[in-house]
Amino acid sequence: MYRNIVVLRWVVVGSKFERARTPEAKRSRENAILAAAARLATRDGVREVTLTAIADEIGMHKSALLRYFETREQIYLQLAATGYEEWSTDARNRLAAFSARPVDADPSRAIATVLARTLIERPLFCDLLAHIPLNLERNVSLDAVRAFKIRAIADTAAVAAAISVIAPLRQDQALNVVVTATVMAGALWQMAAPGTHLRDFYESDPDLAHAVVDVEPRIVDIVSALLDGYANERSPAG
């Protein structure tokens, strides 16, 4: 994930970093910040990463980092936008494969599996999905929110359009399916608490077995049920 974010080699002048003086240098600095934020969030979780930690990760003072991003939240909102784009492209490519061969005997489950699998293969994106409405959109400028929303809406609609090609759904129904998948991925990822002491605790205590969430099959069950519900709406009453 986030394959387009490159790692910057900083230019040191004495004991200070040289300020970016060209658009290319500025983009490189921004990419370095994004890459550092992604590394830390992948390791520790989005909620644990501070702006100071990101600056320290690349050997940059926090005040210098703020020349490139207005807040910590803007950094992660940018990573979420990239995540939407990469997930949308992957999901559409996998859904397009259904056009070249017969869809599974259970088409609802086949579509749901593509959505679920392409999401859980992107752990950082799943983590970010929960934080977008809770805080990432709430500590940035309205211009930043608008730019993010336009990208996310377009990427979501593109996946919905791909589903409409292979399933007899209206566009609004297909969009509901995609939104449900992403919302559940964000929520269930937090409940699953993968790689944390909470997850270990849940798994070690038999009385907490219900708290252990396996994200992919949960998403598949929920999304396929929604797809089946739409299919039943179209079926004539028996």
Residue 93 shares a structural domain with residue 188 = yes
**Total domain count, the chain:** 2
Of 69, 95, 118, at which residue does a domain stop? 69
pLDDT value, residue 100: 66
The model's pLDDT over 120-140, given as tens digits with 9 standing for 90+, comes to 999 999 999 999 999 999 999
Q: What is the mean pLDDT of residues 81-87?
A: 98
Inform me whether the pLDDT recorded for 30 exceeds 70: yes
Q: Are 124 and 41 in contact (CB under 8 A)?
A: yes
What 3-state DSSP class applies to 128?
helix
Residue 189 shares a structural domain with residue 91 = yes
CATH classification of the domain holding 79:
1.10.357.10
Of 69, 100, 123, at which residue does a domain stop? 69
CATH classification of the domain holding 50:
1.10.10
Cα–Cα distances (Å) from 104 to 72, 94, 165, 199, in that order, read 43, 13, 15, 34
Of 48, 69, 90, at which residue does a domain stop? 69
CA angle 35, 36, 40 (to 5 degrees): 120
The model's pLDDT over 32-60, given as tens digits with 9 standing for 90+, comes to 999 999 999 999 999 999 999 999 999 99
Q: Phi and psi for 106 in degrees, rounded to 5?
A: -115, 85
Residue 111 shares a structural domain with residue 190 = yes
Tokens of 180: 């449900």
pLDDT value, residue 103: 58
For tokens 């007899």, name the residue.
168
Give me the domain span that covers residue 133: 72-234
Q: What is the mean pLDDT of residues 188-198?
A: 86
pLDDT value, residue 90: 98
